[in-house]
């Protein structure tokens, strides 16, 4: 379990460590891009946040592709090397790490939006959700 000051220090250490990464791409440096945000109304309630672009092959194409590591998997892609490929679906993922004062641990929250800006809903059938290790 953490204290609030330990969480703040760990977050600032993470930001400092990856600030000098050779690439701005999250695909190359997965811990890149986090920023510290102070709560707008309550002092000392800061949190980490970042926005990343992720891409996915549509399910009907992913099932027939030999070079796709996981069927329909969402993966972060380096936009500097991304080829123009109309078969990829693009998403914007807003990610947050906050301190849970109840459980005294970091908590990860995210929002996922499609290319039109609409939120992507969770699948209606939870049995269809697969977790990739």
- Model confidence over 7-37: pLDDT tens digits? 999 999 999 998 887 777 777 788 889 999 9
44 phi and psi, to 5 degrees? 65, 25
CA distance 50 to 3: 23
What are 66-105's pLDDT values in tens digits? 444 444 555 565 555 555 556 788 899 999 999 999 999 9
Domain ranges of the chain: 4-117
Task: Report pTM.
Answer: 0.72
Pair 50, 101: CB distance under 8 Å: no
């Amino acid at each position: 379990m953490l204290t609030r000051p330990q969480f703040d220090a760990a977050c600032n250490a993470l930001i400092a460590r990856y600030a000098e990464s050779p690439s701005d791409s999250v695909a190359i440096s997965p811990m890149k891009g986090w920023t510290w945000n102070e709560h707008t109304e309550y002092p000392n309630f800061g949190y980490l946040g970042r926005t990343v672009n992720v891409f996915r092959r549509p399910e009907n194409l992913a099932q027939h592709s030999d070079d796709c590591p996981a069927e329909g998997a969402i993966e972060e892609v380096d936009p500097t090397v991304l080829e123009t490929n109309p078969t990829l679906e693009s998403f914007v993922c807003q990610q947050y790490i906050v301190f849970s004062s109840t459980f005294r641990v970091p908590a990860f929250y995210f929002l996922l939006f499609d290319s039109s800006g609409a939120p992507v809903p969770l699948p209606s059938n939870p049995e269809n959700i697969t977790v990739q290790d």
